[in-house]
């Protein structure tokens, strides 16, 4: 992909997420979305403690604000000034930037993580390379992609695109679906894949988390499935990576 094509994609993403920023946190503090955030924080917490951490695509800072107190230093990057403005209101160290062109030094962070962002990046190989570049040797990456081997994929195929603002729907944003097998093939050479964690493994439809008796049961099942053989079927698939300490 050329620099001009990457710039065009960034412009499209910026417009989309600037528009989304006004609605982004609607309903995020309860039910299905709160469960997703909780599981992602639980997965990231052991890697974040005491280190220098970077979130790629930090949005309004909902995850970063929960991990920052555990870290020595916490930085967030997002392509959307609208999202960044809301994250700054939380007192976070966040910057406008592209995941395919990080204005950060090599080997800078103990943990680099990204949730629900890389699935919307067309030049995924460039984004993965940049994420690994800024991770220190021996450091870790938690990189989440959307998984076609999942109930979520089937649900998205039959459902109408959700609205993200009064004027836009999810259909306006590029979305990729990468299976565990595909993820393994596209990883940079200088990382080891330690395994996968799966988020939204057993939930057939998000609205079920609003059902009083069923929601808590699904949440417990999701936590149990996240770090099990069923993780390969998570709608959100997190690759757990370690950067090589020396060139292979």
pLDDT in tens, 194-205: 999 999 999 999
pLDDT the model gives residue 3: 86
CATH code of the domain made up of 3-242: 3.40.50.150
76-115 pLDDT per residue, tens: 999 999 999 999 999 999 999 999 999 999 999 999 999 9
pLDDT at 248 over 70: no
| Residue with more model confidence, 182 or 247 | 182
Contacts of 243 (CB under 8 A, 6+ apart): 132, 135, 136, 137, 138, 139, 140, 141, 190, 191
Q: Where are the domains of the chain?
A: 3-242
Distance of CA 119 to the CA centre of its chain: 8
pTM confidence score: 0.96
How many other CB atoms are found less than 10 A from the CB of residue 189?
Answer: 9
Give residue-wise pLDDT tens across range 53-77: 999 999 999 999 999 999 999 999 9
pLDDT value of position 11:
94
Task: Give me the pLDDT at residue 247, please.
Answer: 57
Confidence check: pLDDT of 246 > 90? no
């Amino acid at each position: 992909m050329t620099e001009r094509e990457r710039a065009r994609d960034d412009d499209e993403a910026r417009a989309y997420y600037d528009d989304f920023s006004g609605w982004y946190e609607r309903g995020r503090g309860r039910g299905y979305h709160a469960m997703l955030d909780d599981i992602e924080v639980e997965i990231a917490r052991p890697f974040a403690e005491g280190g220098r951490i970077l979130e790629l695509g930090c949005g309004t800072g909902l995850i970063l604000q929960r991990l920052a107190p555990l870290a020595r230093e916490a930085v967030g990057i997002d392509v959307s000034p609208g999202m960044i403005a809301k994250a700054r209101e939380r007192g976070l160290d966040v910057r406008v930037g592209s995941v395919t062109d990080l204005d950060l030094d090599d080997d800078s962070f103990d943990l680099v993580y990204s949730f629900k962002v890389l699935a919307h990046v067309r030049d995924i190989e460039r984004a993965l390379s940049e994420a690994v570049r800024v991770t220190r040797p021996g450091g870790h990456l938690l990189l989440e992609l959307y998984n076609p081997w999942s109930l979520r994929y089937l649900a998205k195929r039959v459902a109408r695109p959700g609205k993200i603002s009064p004027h836009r729907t999810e259909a306006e944003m590029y979305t990729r679906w990468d299976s565990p097998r595909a993820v393994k093939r596209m990883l940079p050479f200088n990382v080891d894949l330690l395994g996968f964690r799966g988020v939204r493994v057993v939930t057939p439809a998000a609205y079920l988390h609003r059902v009083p008796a069923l929601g808590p049961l699904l949440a417990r099942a999701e936590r149990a499935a996240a770090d099990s053989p069923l993780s390969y079927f998570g709608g959100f698939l997190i690759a757990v990576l370690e950067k090589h300490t020396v060139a292979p």
